Amino acid sequence: MSKSILFNVDHNYEELKFATSESIVQVWDYERSEPISKFDWGMDAVNKLKWNLSETNLILESASDGNICLYDIRENTPLKRLFLKNKSSCLTWNPYEPINFVVGNEDSNCYTFDMRKLDEAKMIHKDHTNAIHLNCLLANRERILIFGYNNGRSREVYHTKRMQQVNAIAYSMDSKFIISGSEDTNVRIWKSHASYSLNPMLSKEKEKIAYSNRLKRNLHIIRKSREFFYTSMCLNCLRSTTTLSTFSERVRIERKLISELIASLELSHISLSIGRKLMMLMNNLYICFN
């Protein structure tokens, strides 16, 4: 039993525990009537809190004064804290990368942070015009926006003429659909990828979609290779007239570009034949400059 009003409840994913928020964060056991842990960092009322999906000893919470705090229930003191100028109305952990979390702020932006380094945001997600509701996707007034974890701009925007302000959103268990609830008393179901067909697809159609997705994911490699060749061509034009220091700088830049391109190719999942050809080309160029 708590002595004051409780604002939020979130459950531990492995143990029989749950956490609540008020002016402090309290951790409870299902078999006890009193909290087993309390955390207080001298802040205003706690708006939201979430257990980590993987490291189930970690709790993330946001306060109405703009603070975001990280707690470890094994310790008696809070771990880390960061401050945002405006109040954060929602937060969630990344289900695929549990070290990252996203905060929806009242400045109409979402911020992705790495819990190991809270000095600056990894990514700022824009396109909003008002306060935000967050559940690995975003609801903003009468719109629902879907972001890639590493993209600052939304990849999908859903809205209808009759839909009023969206108050709640969630993914389906297979992540193929989105369920939203709005103030017009309707519950709507959306596709998480607007272009995907719900009808059964032939194997050739699936292969085509998979190939298109691979091209989109590896667009940065194409840009990097183009940057390398353009830079190399421009520097080669000056090769015959350069001084020793300028020539050394040219070689240094080209080596850096080649190394970055090779690293990108090694980390990406492009087709094997294309990858081999590009790797052979880059290795030959690298040998020429050494």
- Check pLDDT > 80 for residue 12: yes
Beta strand pairing call for 17-21 and 46-51: unpaired
Distance of CA 204 to the CA centre of its chain: 31
Separation between Cα atoms, residue 70 and residue 17, nearest integer Å: 17
Helix (H, G, I), strand (E, B) or coil at 244: helix
Share of the chain above pLDDT 70, in %: 64
Question: Positive or negative CA dihedral for 56, 58, 60, 65?
Answer: positive
Q: pLDDT digits over 193-227, tens only?
A: 877 778 888 888 888 888 877 776 666 666 666 66
- Whether residue 232 is predicted with pLDDT greater than 70 in this model: the reply is no
Q: What is the pLDDT of residues 254-279, one digit of tens each?
A: 666 656 655 655 544 444 455 555 55
Name residues whose C-beta falls within 8 Å of residue 23's C-beta, 6 or more positions apart in sequence: 4, 40, 43, 44, 45, 46
Angle between helices 272-288 and 244-267 (to 10 degrees): 160
Rounded to an integer, what distance in angstroms lies between the CA atom of residue 78 and that of residue 68?
11
- Whole-model pTM: value is 0.55
Res 289: pLDDT: 46
- Token pair of 183, please? 């103030």
